[in-house]
């Protein structure tokens, strides 16, 4: 089982076919630093879409060598996004990457019927975290896509996260459905849905994992906290996947892990026919590089 993000880089190097990433609105210093690092590590090739003069200016200012990278000049962000997505749809590139644009700008184009990249399933931002005092990678979903998921969407969210866990060589991931407490309360719909998801898993309707919940966060990741509350569960205190109740909870947890704990992370939008390399515009070049590696592995 993969327990460190660096191991993902090692896995990619075993593959002979090198993937091509198309970057939409590439004129961003942290994005270009990640592109430079990915090329140095021989992870993949790139096609950069954006203002060519600005891209070259940034590379010179940061002393980046992108001499072997194809740059396609575009007049504006919309043209850049369309170019990047079309390159994936035509098979020139294997997956797209978000540059200096919003999530909505790249995904609204990705989801157009004409490009044939939709799968009909829920798409999620799946993030993996390497946290210093946690013994393994932990997967968080969803911190950036589905605002207030229905029960059906939560099933897709679990399946998407489990698929990522399987690729990371975790054959039977433990899925914790998070809420504010660990007891089912009819006045709290999140806890009711957690109970339903748990029962669906026990009856074989959601496969490839073990699900339990609801859990407060401490009971999902701390065996001591789970034992103190008398929770008997294979998931309690040993979660591999955290499923949050909504985008607010997910986004807050994501940023708390980054800014309070200094966790390393990688993110990818999954659920479509091709993963999308998508990080916050405030994320570091290291996080962007990790996300490139994860998305390549998922592709």
Q: Give the angle 80-83-88 at the CA atoms, nearest 5°.
A: 130
Same domain, 102 and 174: no
Phi-psi region of 228 (alpha: psi -120 to 50; beta: other; left: phi over 0): alpha
Q: Looking at residue 135, what is its pLDDT?
A: 94
Q: Does the pLDDT value for residue 16 go beyond 80?
A: no
Average pLDDT, the chain: 95
Same domain, 93 and 211: no
Q: Looking at residue 232, what is its pLDDT?
A: 87
Q: Does the pLDDT value for residue 165 go beyond 90?
A: yes
Domain that holds residue 61: 5-118+273-298
Q: Looking at residue 227, what is its pLDDT?
A: 92
Same domain, 154 and 240: yes
Residue 176 tokens, joined: 């914790």
Residue 71 lies in a domain: yes
Same domain, 139 and 237: yes
Hey, how many other C-beta atoms are within 10 angstroms of the C-beta on 40?
10
Residue 144 lies in a domain: yes
Q: Looking at residue 279, what is its pLDDT?
A: 84
pLDDT digits (tens, 9 = 90+) for 50-92: 999 999 999 999 999 998 899 999 999 999 999 999 999 999 9
196: confidence class by pLDDT, cuts 50, 70, 90: very high
Nearest to 68 by CA among 105, 104, 88, 42: 42
Q: Looking at residue 93, what is its pLDDT?
A: 97
Q: How many Å is the maximal CA-CA distance in the chain? A: 62
Burial of 23 (0-12, 13-18, 19+ CB in 10 A): buried
Residue 268 lies in a domain: no
Average pLDDT (225-243) is: 94
Q: Does the pLDDT value for residue 241 go beyond 90?
A: yes
Task: Report the CATH number that the domain containing residue 79 is assigned in CATH.
Answer: 3.40.50.10950
Same domain, 168 and 221: yes
Which pTM value belongs to this model?
Answer: 0.94
Same domain, 43 and 139: no
Same domain, 31 and 46: yes
Percent with pLDDT over 70 in the chain:
100
> Peptide bond preceding 253: is omega within 30 degrees of 0, i.e. cis?
no
Residue 76 lies in a domain: yes
Residue 78 lies in a domain: yes
What does R_g of the chain's alpha carbons equal in angstroms? 20
Q: Does the pLDDT value for residue 281 go beyond 90?
A: no
254: confidence class by pLDDT, cuts 50, 70, 90: very high
Same domain, 193 and 229: yes
Same domain, 16 and 141: no
Residue 60 lies in a domain: yes
Residue 267 lies in a domain: no
Q: Does the pLDDT value for residue 17 go beyond 90?
A: no
Residue 35 tokens, joined: 């592109």
Task: Report the CATH number that the domain containing residue 140 is assigned in CATH.
Answer: 3.40.718.10
Half-sphere exposure of 194 (CA within 13 A, CB side): 26
pLDDT digits (tens, 9 = 90+) for 255-267: 999 999 989 999 9
Same domain, 131 and 227: yes
Same domain, 108 and 149: no
Average pLDDT (199-210) is: 97
Total residues found in the chain within this entry: 299
Q: Looking at residue 275, what is its pLDDT?
A: 96
Q: Looking at residue 19, what is its pLDDT?
A: 95
Hey, how many other C-beta atoms are within 10 angstroms of the C-beta on 205?
11
Task: Quote the distance between the C-alpha of residue 58 and its chain's center.
Answer: 27
Domain count, the chain: 2
Residue 266 lies in a domain: no
Same domain, 130 and 256: yes
């Amino acid at each position: 089982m993969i327990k460190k993000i660096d191991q993902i880089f090692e896995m990619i190097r075993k593959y002979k076919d090198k993937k091509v990433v198309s970057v939409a609105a590439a004129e961003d210093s942290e994005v270009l630093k990640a592109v430079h690092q990915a090329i140095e590590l021989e992870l993949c090739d790139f096609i950069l879409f954006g203002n060519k003069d600005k891209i070259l200016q940034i590379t010179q200012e940061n002393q980046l060598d992108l001499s072997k990278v194809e740059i396609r000049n575009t007049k504006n962000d919309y043209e850049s996004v369309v170019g990047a997505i079309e390159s994936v749809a035509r098979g020139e590139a294997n997956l797209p990457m978000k540059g200096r644009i919003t999530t909505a700008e790249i995904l609204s184009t990705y989801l157009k019927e004409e490009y044939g990249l939709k799968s009909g399933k829920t798409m999620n931002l799946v993030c993996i975290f390497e946290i210093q005092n946690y013994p393994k990678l932990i997967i968080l979903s969803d911190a950036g896509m589905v605002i207030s998921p229905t029960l059906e969407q939560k099933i897709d969210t679990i399946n998407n996260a489990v698929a990522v866990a399987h690729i990371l060589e975790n054959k039977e991931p433990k899925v914790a459905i998070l809420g504010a407490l660990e007891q089912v309360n009819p006045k709290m719909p999140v806890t009711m849905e957690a109970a339903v998801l748990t029962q669906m898993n026990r009856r074989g309707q959601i496969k490839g994992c073990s699900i339990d919940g609801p859990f407060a966060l401490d009971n999902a990741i701390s065996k001591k906290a789970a034992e103190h509350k008398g929770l008997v569960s294979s998931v309690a205190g040993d979660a591999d996947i955290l499923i949050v109740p909504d985008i607010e909870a997910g986004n807050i947890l994501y940023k708390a892990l980054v800014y309070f704990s200094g966790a390393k992370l990688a993110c990818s939008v999954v659920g479509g026919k091709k993963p999308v390399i998508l990080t916050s515009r405030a994320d570091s070049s290291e996080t962007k590089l990790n996300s490139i590696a994860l998305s390549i592995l998922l592709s």
